[in-house]
Amino acid sequence: MQRIPQVPIVTPPKENAREALHLAAWLHDCGKLFVPDYVTDKAVKLEAVYNRIHEIRTRFEVLKHDAKIACWRGIAEGKDAAVLQAQREETWQALDADYVFVAACNQNDRPLDEADIARLLRIGARTWLRTLDDRIGISEFERQRKAGVPARALPAPEHLLADRLEHLVDVQQGDSHDNSAEIRGSMPRPKHRLNLGELYCLSVKSGTLTPEERYLINAHVLGTIAMLSTLPFPPELSSVPEAAGSHHEHLDGSGYPCGKQAANLSLAARIIAIADVYEALTASDRPYKPGKSADEALVIMAEMARRRHLDPELFDLFVRAGIPARYAALAQSERPGGSPRSPA
């Protein structure tokens, strides 16, 4: 297998340093062209092109409808109407409560604990009855994913929440920019490209991303390196690939994709890392999280600098130079009708 393209530190001539930094900053996320938008902007755990909570809500409706039918059937058979109606109401209330819980898990309202995961498993174990063929009207890609699972005779019981083999999307030759890349220990590639299992996704304890989706997002750096390493930059701008492709590396070696140490990180890469973190924390246009105030962002970044995930000296300069306030003013001037977050 080929290795990740090596991007050694190149110190540009002083007169070209600003231009090289400017280009690297603009291009540092170009590798996100390889990442599906629904992964980059994933706002809820069941999102995959669309929010699959709608399918699950329909299943709950089916179970509520079944409870209603059972009630009326029992009454028609001469059983105690009051008892049957009370049982129906109890079933409805339990289903409503379970759906509210599943919906909250999907929205990542709070981190999940083991009791939450156990409740999801209990809810998912309930069954509903499918009477229609689930292998017609689907794409060839979906059909291939179902091919390894024998079709079941109808009517077929289905779990309310399921992890099925067809939820596993494998990496195929040519569908990913890092197929032939040797991924370092700091960024191992998962076995599957995606795991769309409903319980699997809902059980993510914090955030909305599965490990597979987190890898796809992190792999944008590999895309940036691969793209920029092939461009014929003139010698005075040859530092651009390293500066742009190292913005998720940490001085202590805990970053990605290569786990570089401080000695292998250029000044430009360290600058872009600080700017990237501050912009990401304060951005108010991310569907998966609210933006933080400047104060909140700086507290988080101070801890990152203490742990040497960011350059402590550059972070100190970033704060003392008043860049957060200047950034807030610039962002406000480019946002018609908006109001800036407090810079301090």
Q: What's the pLDDT score for residue 47?
A: 95
Write out the two tokens for 106.
Answer: 């999907």
3-state DSSP call for residue 124? helix
Q: What's the pLDDT score for residue 148?
A: 83
Q: pLDDT by residue (tens digit) across 136-180?
A: 999 998 898 898 889 999 999 999 999 999 999 987 644 555 544
Q: What is the pTM of this model?
A: 0.84
Q: Measure the CA angle with vertex 209, ends 31 and 272; round to 5°.
A: 40
Distance CA 287, CA 43 (A): 5
Q: Measure the CA angle with vertex 118, ends 50 and 290; round to 5°.
A: 45
- Write down the domain spans for the chain: 2-42+208-333, 50-168
Q: pLDDT by residue (tens digit) across 223-277?
A: 999 999 999 999 999 999 999 999 999 999 999 999 999 999 999 999 999 999 9
Counting as low any pLDDT under 70, the low residues of the chain are 1-13, 172-186, 334-344
CA distances from 202 to 42, 82, 337 (A): 13, 37, 37
Residues 87, 62 contacting (CB under 8 angstroms): no
State the architecture of 2-42+208-333 in CATH terms: Orthogonal Bundle (1.10)
Q: Measure the CA angle with vertex 82, ends 80 and 86; round to 5°.
A: 120
Positive/negative CA dihedral, 58, 59, 61, 65? positive
The three-state DSSP-derived secondary structure of 149-188 is: CCCCCCCEEEECCCCCHHHEECCCCCCCCCCCEECCCCCC
294-306 vs 312-320: helix axis angle to the nearest 10? 150
CA atoms within 13 A on the CB side of 199: 18
